[in-house]
Structure 1
Amino acid sequence: MADLNSIAQGQAAARRVSRPFPLGVWNSIPGVPEVPGTANVSVDAPGLSGVEIHFETAPGVWASEPLSESAAGIHHGRVSGLGYGSRYGFWPLGKELPGEPGSFQLLLDPYGRGIDEAPGADGGAPLFFSVHVDPSYDWGQSRRPRIPWRDTVIYEAHVRGQTLLHPGIPEELRGTYAGMAHPVMVEYLQDLGITSVELLPVQFHADEEHLRQLGLTNYWGYNTLGFFAPQVSYATKEAQAAGPKAVQDEFKDMVRSLHDAGLEVLLDVVYNHTAEGTKDRPALCWRGLGEEQYYRHDGEGRYLDTTGCGNTLDFSQPRVIQMAVDSLRYWVSEYHVDGFRFDLAPALCRGADGHFDSRHPFLMAVAGDPVLAGSKLIAEPWDIGPGGWQTGNFPPGWADWNDRFRDTVRDFWLRDQAALAAGGTGGSVARLAASLAGSADLFAGSGRTSLASINLVTAHDGFTLADLTAYDHKHNEANAEDNRDGSNENRSYNHGVEGPTADEQVAARRAQSARNLMTTLLMSLGVPMITAGDELGRTQHGNNNAYCQDTPLAWLDWHLDADGLRMLETTRTLLRLRRDFLASQPYRYPAEPREASLLWFDAEGQPMTPEKWEDPGCRVLQLLAGSSFSGLKGLLVLNGTLEDTEVKLPDAQTLRASGMDGEHHQVYQLMLSTAAEPAERTGSRTRGGEKDILPANSISLYRA
């Protein structure tokens, strides 16, 4: 009898054993024997003296248990009956419940791997519940593509908007993870020539209350409520009905399909603020667990806001850093994603004094994490805090969205064109050349290279590429904010008519300007990012802040007119030529001659001089670029004037004087022109030293 009592006592003790780490809900944890029917539950709730967990033992049947252990703000315990598929949430121990469990908002688990959304009472705000999800999945032989940075071309896409109108995808799959993984879409992305799909936020997010009141939604998803849970609404109806496990599996199926096609998956992640919003909003998770520790405050207890969203997570707190790093590690290890783009990244790198630190503990933790090693890390390098602009200041191993590239390219091809058309002058080619050459002025000083520059002309926020050429002013009336939202500084040019036009000449000039922008983007050193739909001529009708437009305004329209078809073919051709000419772009500044060459010439085929670089009247530029490894070189010739211009292509003698073997570059074959009617000239050959006619406001690309 004594032995049986000892066994029973031992089993009871085993059920009580719990650990503070890992945080979240786990059926088994390293070093602790697994006890069938129980789960280790741990939550960082530094603002609470005690915590109890409420959970479903069966649909609609709720139980509760206190988390009996706590230390340093972490509350943990071993809980019986919390199985896979169970909804659960936390509540302050001893605090009266405002209703029956399931009828009010419990506090979510910051580490919850699934979130279930239920309608609120009387049409009020929805309720959210954490869900304990089985993580098992068979990845088979699928492997990450591991695309080198120098070969990377990023395609920024929205899971829903990418496929919702695609006629080749079954209707029940459109707008979903499964739609993104459909062979029609995968083949399109492969054929286009991109290497990496960057998805707008797919971590679980919620709609702001003011949007809900207006009947709108947060379409972009930059309002995260669960850093470990996928967005449920992007799954098929079938997966949603089957529950969070099926949603997880559909997401993983998407990643596996893209990987099998050689395409990387990057996630746009938002760790700078949460969906809890301003301090007057209800507690959903972190605010109820310990808002003083999770959010930044000033000396008077008010929220400090460096994001414009009302609440900023406090990355001077170790547990906040741990939560973000654990989340990144989870998406890499469990979902096999290849990297991340960090929204308002300086907010994650501010110390207790509120200032940006390029050696911030968050950056050090990411750099030293073995699970994250090899992941692509991309910063949106600005926020609205002190010293908010940090382009070029992130450490080696990171890449930055290059806003200077964006502004410079827009200025040269749009703002300057508007000034010239009005009888004024444009800028010199010097700034544009710096952007074409990889923005050494931004990145060389910090020991980084052109591959740290994510070159972009557009992104999800702002005008589309087509709208940059068709609108001088934003038109955001559909957002119900009286057109106050969105940027007023767009560096756009409507070519003389605001919005849609029946004037064929204006339409032709717009399309040509769009091709100029795309060509400059894809033939520059660095890592290009294309915004989904720009290759199709997509318009948002002048809306430059379509964050709340889950409508055809923001979805990709796959029915293309002649300009759209021309733009798509131009983009495909450019990406093919980029692989030819820039496949071995240099890793360092300045480029070693054996790696690559960048030679600059004027309209007469002579090397550029300091005087010509700074002359605003000098708006014709030739760039001979390529790699001695491939033996292929491209000659990019830009005519930023309003007149057709004779351009003398560099001859053998000039090339030899520049240190190049000129004998092998005496003939130039036209591969692409952005001019309106290039078909009869494509493929034509011009000898070095001879002149070719470059149409006004156009780019010609030759194979040397």
Structure 2
Amino acid sequence: MHEATTTPSAAGLSLETGPRPGAVVQTDGTTFTLWAPAAERVELALIGDDGSQRNLDLAHTGEFWTGFVPGIGAGQRYGYRVHGPFDPSHGLRFDPSKLVLDPYARAIDGELDFGSPLIYDSSDGDSAGHVPVGVVVADSEPPPPISKPVHWGETVIYELHTKGFTKLHPDVPEQQRGTYAGLAHPSVIKYLTDLGVTSVELLPIHHFLTEPSIAARGLPNYWGYNTLGFFAPHAPYSSSGSRGEQVTEFKAMVAAFHAAGIEVILDVVYNHTAEGGFDGPTLSFRGIDNRAYYRLSHGAAMYDVTGTGNSVDTSHPQVRRLVMDSLRYWVEEMGVDGFRFDLAVTLVRNERHEVDIPDHPFLAEVAADPVLGRVKLIAEPWDVGPFGYQVGNFGTPWSEWNGKFRDSVRDVWRNTSDGVKDLAYRLSGSSDLYGDDGRYPYASINFVTAHDGFTLRDLVSYDHKHNEANHEDNRDGTDDNRSWNCGVEGETDDPGVITLRKRQMANLMSTLILSTGVPMITAGDECGRTQDGNNNAYCQDDEISWFDWSLPAAWSDQLDLTKKLIALRAAHPALRQWHYFSGQPDVPGGRKDLSWIAPQGGEMTDADWFDGNLRTIGMFLRGDALRATDAEGNALTDSSFLLALNATPEIRNVVVPDASWAPAYEVVLDTSKSMVTEVEAGATVPLAPRCLVLLRAL
């Protein structure tokens, strides 16, 4: 441990007015500002390359502590020592022996020493040298914006992990694999543009830490849902350094994606921090103002609705300011195009910890913010607290992860659904969830898989989770997988089972991309990525989680299908509706914009809808009844389409609508590869077991 030289006066400092939190580089020095309203004294610790410290007192003005240090510029490492009462039984956790991180630090350097007792405030020792610290970063130009913004109605999201996607990529230089520079490599971007996705959604890249309990098992936090710094790009994803270079490299990555016409969406974790529960390490927020930053119950105990030990308290105005400042920073300075909010319900709980939709001030501030008004906002509409499941309730301008879509589609294709009533809502944009509050179908982020759970290949290969590699005796991860192994658990050489699994994967992918709403594809699902049955690979920074770049060639049929589906969606407005269907004809006696076709021909009856055994249905989309316009304001028209699916294990003879709908159809897609190329109106055709067919009206 290095001894700190403390300067008890404000020598070398000058008070700034109108403080901006964080470290602000100026021409002849840097201004440091920390919000710590309950502190009695705040020291700025300037940390040398050799670990030595120069400690300077900040001046107190209102709720802020601030000062200017001449001669200090970009690359300087720093932290704070915050003095005040230490009374954990009343939620007060001030301890100047703990070097704490600036919540507004734009870059973070150093690692957490998991084995040191000095990181906990129960220890009397100095934590310097055992905790990450902030790095001063000068303002710089943001990346160029994307040349053509992607409308929600045209969006196809691809969820990927920054490290795992390129760690094994043969074309990426070895030193860049698993980094922001690796993602920006031309081969990687070409793969994404060839696939046809419009937006990448990056698992958390805010600087994060591994929880001590996970480190004790010899494992890392791989996914990144354990944020330490809300302004800092995760330093280990930088190939160029951690003294501010991570900021430059991240911006270059965004610029490369934008040049290719691809949006960058961040998965952000504002609901909790890396400081864990009551007995967790003191790293930043806890040592600055524990009672403001965290939800507490009975004065001291952490009120946890995230399952991580703590929950950030956005009912406090200054905590909301931190979140809002962070969001604006990532848009204005770092160039990102949207956010997916992990456990978003935690952010809309009030001071009594109650879900406060739609009246929470966080929702009002987001809706009124001109910067956030131009980017995509996606809520994961649940947390683990009381009344935490809020799918469909966030309102404008939010889109939401639609967990009901995932569950319904899985149940239908594993042949366990209660008829097709719920599936029809999911295929047509989930108007039951989003159609009553002024939102559009793209409020529904449709997904069948995500980072959390089985991959698509594992979904059709395993009935049960196999998480032994996590060293938790297979207790972790959900047991509600709604999966079907097609008769054999795990990998098999049986050609019949393999064929069935590939068809089921094709059915699930086709349903996802052809449904109304915004499809989200999990990286690797387009080419058979497997996690060997692990449905909770949050701590697997290895081949279990990394993208295997030998798969695109080995699974070219699945990859080609995904490309074809995305291209069909892009080419045909009828397959990506921007408005909800009216279910009514536009002229007396005409056809509806959406009609549901029964297996026996004609429209579905009440008896059909309430038939719990029915798992065969047709969906007729009128292409000349679109309520959408192009960029020039011209009305869009398209071909009409008939989507038919048979989720049963038997052949189902279905009757194609008569000539008043369309004279004939061409087969555009058939997951069974058994249909003829054209079908006459009124014909009876056999739908193969477990297949999906898309017909275009001629």
Shift of residue 685, structure 1, vs aligned partner = 1.0
Local SS of the residue matching 2:300: coil
2:131 to 107, 127, 130: 127
Which shows bigger deviation, 320-329 or 508-517? 508-517
**Which of 432, 439, 454 is residue 430 of structure 2 equivalent to?**
439
Task: Report the secondary structure of 1:292's partner residue.
Answer: helix
CA distance in 2, matches of 1:68, 1:593: 70
Partner of 2:168: 165
Deviation at 1:105, TM superposition (A): 5.2
1:393-450 C-alpha deviation (Å, 9 max, x unpaired): 002110010001110001000152xxxxxxxxx5211111111011111112223221
Aligned partners of 2:430 and 2:441 also within 8 Å: yes
What's the counterpart of residue 3 of structure 1? Answer: none
In 1, distance between residues paired with 2:334 and 2:584?
A: 39
Which residue of 1 is the match for residue 629 of structure 2? none
1:686 aligns with 2:690: no
The residue type paired with residue 91 of structure 1 is R
Q: Do residues 590 (structure 1) and 582 (structure 2) align?
A: yes
Instruction: Give the count of matched residue pairs.
Output: 651
Q: How does 1:341-420 map to 2 (within 5 A)?
A: 341-357=340-356, 358-416=358-416
State which drifts further: 367-376 or 475-484: 367-376
Q: How far apart are residue 17 of structure 1 and its match?
A: 3.4
Matched, 1:574 2:565: yes
TM alignment of 1:463-542, pairs within 5 A: 463-542=454-533
Counterparts of 1:493 and 1:440, CA distance in 2 = 28
CA distance in 2 between partners of 1:639 and 1:282 (Å): 54
The answer to whether structure 1 residue 231 and structure 2 residue 234 are counterparts is: yes
CA distance 1:145–1:210, shift in 2 (3 Å): farther
Counterpart residue number, 1:601:
597
CA drift at 1:43? 0.7
1:587: Cα distance to partner? 2.5
Deviation at 1:60, TM superposition (A): 4.3
Q: Quote the Cα distance in structure 2 between the aligned partners of 1:256 and 1:93.
A: 42
Residues 309-351 of structure 1 show CA distances to partners (whole Å, capped at 9, x for unaligned) of 0010111111110000000000001111000000000000001
* Alpha-carbon distance in structure 2 between the residues aligned to 1:154 and 1:484: 31
2:651–2:689 Cα contact (<8 Å) kept: yes
> Which region of structure 1 is more displaced relative to structure 2, 320-329 or 406-415?
406-415
Contact 1:66 1:93 survives alignment (8 Å) = no
Q: Which amino acid aligns with 2:392?
A: G
CA deviation vs aligned residue, 1:237-288 (integer Å, no higher than 9, x gap) = xx02xx4332111111110010111100000000000000011122100000
CA contact (8 A) 2:101 2:283 kept: yes
| Shift in CA distance, 43/232, structure 1 to aligned 2, threshold 3 Å | same
Look up the match of 2:7.
none
Give the whole-Å Cα distance in 2 for the aligned partners of 1:177 and 1:570: 29
Match of 1:78 among 68, 73, 76: 68
- Secondary structure of the residue that 1:599 maps to in structure 2? strand
- AA aligned to 1:232 is A
Q: Is this contact kept in 2: 1:46–1:293, CA < 8 A?
A: no
1:352 is displaced (CA, Å) by 1.0
Per-residue displacement from partner, 1:624-648 (whole Å, max 9, x unpaired)? Answer: 2253223222211101221122222
> 1:583: Cα distance to partner?
5.8
Q: CA deviation at 1:561?
A: 7.8
Per-residue CA distance 1:508-544 (angstroms, 9 max, x = gap): 1111111111111111111110011111111111100
- Report the alpha carbon displacement of residue 182 of structure 1 after superposing the two structures with TM: 0.9
| TM-aligned CA deviation for residue 365 of structure 1 | 1.0
Partner AA of 1:287 in structure 2: R
* d(CA) in 2 for partners of 1:631, 1:162: 36
Change beyond 3 A, Cα 1:94–1:296: closer
Match of 1:330? Answer: 329
Q: Provide the rounded CA distance (Å) in 2 between the counterparts of 1:561 and 1:369.
A: 42
Structure 2 residue 217 is the aligned partner of structure 1 residue 214:
yes
Q: Summarize deviations over 1:587-644 as a string: whole Å, max 9, x none.
A: 2463786799222111233111111111123322111225322322221110122112
CA distance, structure 2, for counterparts of residue 120 and residue 320 of structure 1? 27
Secondary structure (helix, strand or coil) at the match of 2:411 reads helix
Measure the CA separation in 2 of the matches of 1:481 and 1:506. 31
Answering whether residue 317 of structure 2 is matched by residue 318 of structure 1, we say yes
Structure 2: distance between partners of 1:363 and 1:119: 34
| Alignment partner of 1:622 out of 601, 618, 622 | 618
Q: TM-score, normalised by structure 2?
A: 0.89
For 2:575 and 2:689, locate their aligned partners in 1 and report how far apart those are by CA, in whole Å.
30
- Asked if 2 retains the 8 angstrom alpha-carbon contact of 1:19 and 1:77, the reply is no
Distance in 2 (CA, whole Å) between partners of 1:121 and 1:152 is: 42
665, 670, 674: which one aligns with 2:667 = 670
Structure 1 CA distance, aligned partners of 2:393 and 2:221? 31
AA matched with 2:176: L
Residue aligned with 1:445, SS: coil
How big is each residue's C-alpha offset from its partner over 1:352-406, in whole Å with a ceiling of 9 and x where there is no partner? Answer: 1211122211111111111212110000000011110000000211001000111
- Counterpart Cα distance in 2 of 1:246 and 1:624: 53
Distance, in Å, in 1 between the alignment partners of 2:154 and 2:528 is: 25
Cα distance in 2, alignment partners of residues 471 and 66 from structure 1: 59
Distance apart, 1:144 and its partner CA: 5.3
CA distance in 1, matches of 2:362, 2:84: 35
C-alpha deviation, 1:82, in angstroms: 2.7
Per mean C-alpha deviation after superposition, the further-off stretch among 13-22 and 157-166 is: 13-22
In the TM superposition, 1:11-410 aligns within 5 A as: 16-28=14-26, 36-56=27-47, 60-72=51-63, 74-93=64-83, 106-118=99-111, 120=113, 126-137=130-141, 139=143, 142-143=145-146, 145-236=148-239, 239-240=240-241, 243-357=242-356, 358-410=358-410
SS of alignment partner, residue 225 of structure 2: coil
Greater displacement, 564-573 / 52-61? 52-61
Amino acid of the residue matched to residue 235 of structure 1? S
Show structure 1 runs of 5+ residues with no match.
1-11, 29-35, 97-102, 417-425, 656-664
Residues 1:437 and 1:138: Cα distance change in structure 2 (over 3 Å): closer
Letter in 1 for 2:301: R
Query: Is the Cα–Cα contact under 8 Å of residues 303 and 312 in structure 1 kept in the other structure?
Result: yes
2:658 aligned partner, one-letter code? D
Q: Which residue of 2 aligns with 1:32?
A: none
**Contiguous gaps of at least 5 residues in structure 2:** 1-9, 87-95, 120-129, 625-635
Structure 1: distance between partners of 2:557 and 2:108: 44
**Alpha-carbon offset, residue 59 of structure 1:** 5.5
Residue in structure 2 matched with residue 661 of structure 1 by the alignment: none
Higher helix proportion, which one?
1
Give the residue type in structure 1 aligned to 2:671: T
RMSD across aligned positions (CA): 2.4
Alpha-carbon contact 1:57-1:83 (below 8 Å) kept = no
Q: 1:613 to 1:259 in 2, by over 3 A?
A: same
Judge conservation of contact 1:151–1:583 (CA < 8 Å) in 2: no
Paired with 2:333 and 2:148, the residues of 1 have a C-alpha distance of 16
Partner of 2:140: helix, strand, or coil?
coil
| Contact 2:146/2:263 (<8 A) preserved | no
Call closer, same or farther: CA 1:317–1:555 in 2, change over 3 Å. Answer: same
